[in-house]
Chains A and B, each alone.
Chain A
Amino acid sequence: MENQSNASEKNSKGGSREWSELLNSTFLPPFSLKGWLFFLAGLVPALIAGWVIFPMVLYSSQEQPFNFSHVIHADPDIGIGGDTELETCLYCHYFRDDGTFAGIPDLYACTMCHDDPEYPMGDSEDEMIFLEQYVAEDKEVPWLVYSRQPDCVYFSHIAHVKMGEMDCTTCHGDFGQSEKPPAYKQNRLSGYSIDIWGRNIAGFKTDTWDRMKMSDCAECHTEMGHEENNACFVCHK
């Protein structure tokens, strides 16, 4: 009995010393070179996996049904002209009488100009695809919407564009100048577009249109002195 307890006493005292040695030699410098190597052997692949492979895996990429050039359509000589850039945008992406926003124009809106499937207005084959497969078939174009928010989100364009006098670019960037719509990248986990879910994998934000998440809305509301608009129901439904 006696010696037993003594033994354990000593053991544990000695134990503590050994223990600290063990810890030091494993985790504290100076490391042996071999130690370093092993450390790096773990570190480097991890970094590659995290910064290079992960982003590729996380997002799927899809192309639009056919090419659409904002440049051509927004060219006053060929397509739509407006006194201001905003007016040009609003020509197709218009507000309805009840103030709701039409978003991506439906087939009906397009056929205002592209009224006859037989007679294309330009000479691009994409227009032919559009006329043959959609106008002729009277079928809506299944556009992939870059800035589609989740269903639980309510967003009022008129409140921002008309009352808030914001530019389209603030959130949508320079889509208006695009020759070709970029690929639609969807986050495999959250299911949302990279354009609202953060272009930068690390979550850094250089331009206002890099991201359209709740925090971004709130941030802007606050900056503009509209904290009151950070109440849940203002943007949720």
Chain B
Amino acid sequence: MDSALFPEGVKRCSPKVFLLWTLPWLALLAWGGLSAFLCLWKGLNQTNMSNIFAFALWIVFDLAVIALGAGAFFTGFLTYVIGRKELKSIINAAVIIGFICYSGAVAMLGIDIGQPIRGWFIFWHANVHSMLTEVSFCITCYLAVLAIEYIPIVLENRQVQKVRELRLFGHNLHHVMGVFAATGTFLSFFHQGSLGGMFGVMYARPFAERWDFYVWPTTFFLFVFSAIAAGPCFTILCSKLAEAVSRKKLVPDNAVQFLAKVSGWLLSGYIVLKILDTLVWADTTVPSAGLELMDFYREGPYGIWMLIAEIGIFGIIPAILLMVPKARQNPGLLIIACLMNCTGIVLNRFVFVIATLAIPVMPFARFWSYLPTWQEWGIAMAMLGYGFLLFSASYRYLPVFPREKELNPAVYGA
């Protein structure tokens, strides 16, 4: 009955099935909605955040999704700026995923701050020295860019196409997409970096502090690097998931393989730098603060395993898997590699947020542990539900995967 909205000549499951599919995600959204209401109405006492854990689950989530969402700008960069035609078949998916990640992140931030109605003071009374200001500016702008990149996809809906102005509008946006891709790349570079900078500049927190390279701490570049290394993998994972769920092939292998290869090389590059950075930090910053490396890794659950897991297991291994053609051409290994890559980056963000705050700096300050409340989880999970919903809906009603038909002769006939 909603088939009139489907893209030209593709098959989609029945409304009933689709509705069933959305139910769990709607449930997550409801949970998140309730949590959000409580946090906004009663205040942040609904969470387990504290003066010690000023940043917590939500910030970890924000950093993670923003890093993973980097697939959008980077794929856009490769497609429009570098001009890799094969990526046209995945760029739409990348853009939507990016849009989901960023819009979700911004929504979460809106709840995370104590004075949501004053949030815009960041722009109204901006302090240009604050990395967070830079982050806010770039993220908001980039979210706008993503929206602009998303609109033409929406406008490609069969019914919308019937309206002349909109159709024309959509077409013309396509033509200038290159510009937006470039803008997006520029903005993303900075906010991804500034997100890293946020922690690198906390020079009174030896665990996070990093030495400056020009005006930016090394974390600035490491965050950019890690984001573009993990983003594409996340895009791959999502499209693979879509393929699994829809039981159709949606993205040609050459596109996936190309992204995987790029990820692999970038990741390996990142890991090398990360190791260097860690060594320099352990050799300069840490001793100058009167500490030894292991002092950071003896509090509660935050042991040295974090470093090993982040760099070794979830860094080097996926890098190799993705660089070796044989490995990444094996579907199973490819998925595993992408998963590990993403895990590594999420772990990295987790360490920078939680471990940084958990490890006391004053010798007589004591260690605290933190567990999120159901409200905190609610908001985080809503992010997930929102993602699934928007992506499913887009897939159902918009030509997200332009080559769906030709890739599935079995379904659509040759």
- Please say whether the chains A and B touch (CB closer than 8 A): yes
A residues lining the B interface (CB < 8 Å): 1, 11-12, 15-16, 18-19, 22
Closest B-chain residue to A18, C-beta based? B168
Q: Does B212 contact A (CB under 8 A)?
A: no
**In the complex, A129→B172 CA distance in Å?**
74
Is A19's CB under 8 angstroms from B169's CB?
Answer: yes
- In B162-178, the 8 Å CB interface with A consists of 164-165, 167-169, 171-172, 174-175
Taking A18-B164, A18-B168, A19-B171 as known contacts, 4 extra A-B pairs with beta carbons closer than 8 A to each other, sorted by chain A number, are: A11-B171, A12-B175, A15-B171, A16-B168
Is A19's CB under 8 angstroms from B168's CB?
Answer: yes
Closest B-chain residue to A15, C-beta based? B171
Cβ distance A215 to chain B, nearest Cβ, rounded Å:
12
The listed residue with most A CB atoms (<10 A of its CB), out of B167, B171, B175, is B171
**In the complex, A219→B168 CA distance in Å?**
51
Closest B-chain residue to A16, C-beta based? B172
Is A12's CB under 8 angstroms from B171's CB?
Answer: yes
**In the complex, A1→B167 CA distance in Å?**
21
Closest A-chain residue to B165, C-beta based? A22
> Which residues in B have their C-beta under 8 angstroms from that of A18?
164, 168
Q: Does B406 contact A (CB under 8 A)?
A: yes
| A12-B174, A16-B175 as given contacts; A1 in contact with B169, CB under 8 Å | no
Is B172's CB under 8 angstroms from A19's CB?
Answer: yes
**In the complex, A22→B167 CA distance in Å?**
12
- In B302-353, the 8 Å CB interface with A consists of none
Is B167's CB under 8 angstroms from A15's CB?
Answer: yes
Closest B-chain residue to A1, C-beta based? B406
Q: How many A-B residue pairs have CB under 8 A?
A: 21
B residues lining the A interface (CB < 8 Å): 164-165, 167-169, 171-172, 174-175, 406
Closest A-chain residue to B172, C-beta based? A19
> Which residues in A have their C-beta under 8 angstroms from that of B164?
18
**In the complex, A18→B172 CA distance in Å?**
10
Is A16's CB under 8 angstroms from B171's CB?
Answer: yes
Cβ distance B173 to chain A, nearest Cβ, rounded Å:
10
**In the complex, A148→B174 CA distance in Å?**
56
> Which residues in B have their C-beta under 8 angstroms from that of A22?
165, 168
Cβ distance B89 to chain A, nearest Cβ, rounded Å:
14
> Which residues in A have their C-beta under 8 angstroms from that of B165?
22
Cβ distance B172 to chain A, nearest Cβ, rounded Å:
5
Closest A-chain residue to B167, C-beta based? A15
> Which residues in B have their C-beta under 8 angstroms from that of A15?
167-168, 171-172
Closest B-chain residue to A4, C-beta based? B8
Cβ distance B127 to chain A, nearest Cβ, rounded Å:
12
Closest B-chain residue to A26, C-beta based? B165
The listed residue with most A CB atoms (<10 A of its CB), out of B165, B168, B172, B406, is B168
Cβ distance B413 to chain A, nearest Cβ, rounded Å:
12
> Which residues in A have their C-beta under 8 angstroms from that of B406?
1
**In the complex, A11→B169 CA distance in Å?**
13
Closest A-chain residue to B169, C-beta based? A19
Per CB-CB distance, the 6 closest pairs between chain A and chain B, nearest first, are A19-B168, A15-B171, A12-B171, A19-B172, A15-B168, A18-B168
> Which residues in B have their C-beta under 8 angstroms from that of A19?
168-169, 171-172
**In the complex, A12→B165 CA distance in Å?**
13
**In the complex, A22→B166 CA distance in Å?**
11
Cβ distance B144 to chain A, nearest Cβ, rounded Å:
21
**In the complex, A1→B406 CA distance in Å?**
9
**In the complex, A15→B169 CA distance in Å?**
9
**In the complex, A19→B167 CA distance in Å?**
9
Cβ distance B336 to chain A, nearest Cβ, rounded Å:
35
Q: List 7 A-B contacts (CB under 8 A).
A: A12-B171, A12-B175, A16-B171, A16-B172, A18-B168, A19-B169, A19-B172
The listed residue with most B CB atoms (<10 A of its CB), out of A11, A16, A19, A22, is A19
Cβ distance A48 to chain B, nearest Cβ, rounded Å:
29
**In the complex, A1→B172 CA distance in Å?**
23
Closest A-chain residue to B8, C-beta based? A4
Cβ distance A65 to chain B, nearest Cβ, rounded Å:
35
**In the complex, A195→B165 CA distance in Å?**
50
Cβ distance B328 to chain A, nearest Cβ, rounded Å:
30
Cβ distance A226 to chain B, nearest Cβ, rounded Å:
22
Closest A-chain residue to B168, C-beta based? A19
**In the complex, A220→B172 CA distance in Å?**
52
Cβ distance A18 to chain B, nearest Cβ, rounded Å:
6
**In the complex, A18→B169 CA distance in Å?**
10
Cβ distance B61 to chain A, nearest Cβ, rounded Å:
33
> Which residues in B have their C-beta under 8 angstroms from that of A12?
171, 174-175
**In the complex, A82→B348 CA distance in Å?**
74
Closest A-chain residue to B174, C-beta based? A12
Cβ distance B47 to chain A, nearest Cβ, rounded Å:
27
**In the complex, A22→B406 CA distance in Å?**
35
**In the complex, A22→B169 CA distance in Å?**
10
> Which residues in A have their C-beta under 8 angstroms from that of B171?
11-12, 15-16, 19
Closest B-chain residue to A21, C-beta based? B168
> Which residues in A have their C-beta under 8 angstroms from that of B172?
15-16, 19
> Which residues in A have their C-beta under 8 angstroms from that of B167?
15
**In the complex, A18→B166 CA distance in Å?**
12
**In the complex, A11→B171 CA distance in Å?**
9
Cβ distance B171 to chain A, nearest Cβ, rounded Å:
4
Closest B-chain residue to A19, C-beta based? B168
Cβ distance A190 to chain B, nearest Cβ, rounded Å:
14
Closest A-chain residue to B171, C-beta based? A15
> Which residues in A have their C-beta under 8 angstroms from that of B169?
19
Cβ distance B192 to chain A, nearest Cβ, rounded Å:
32
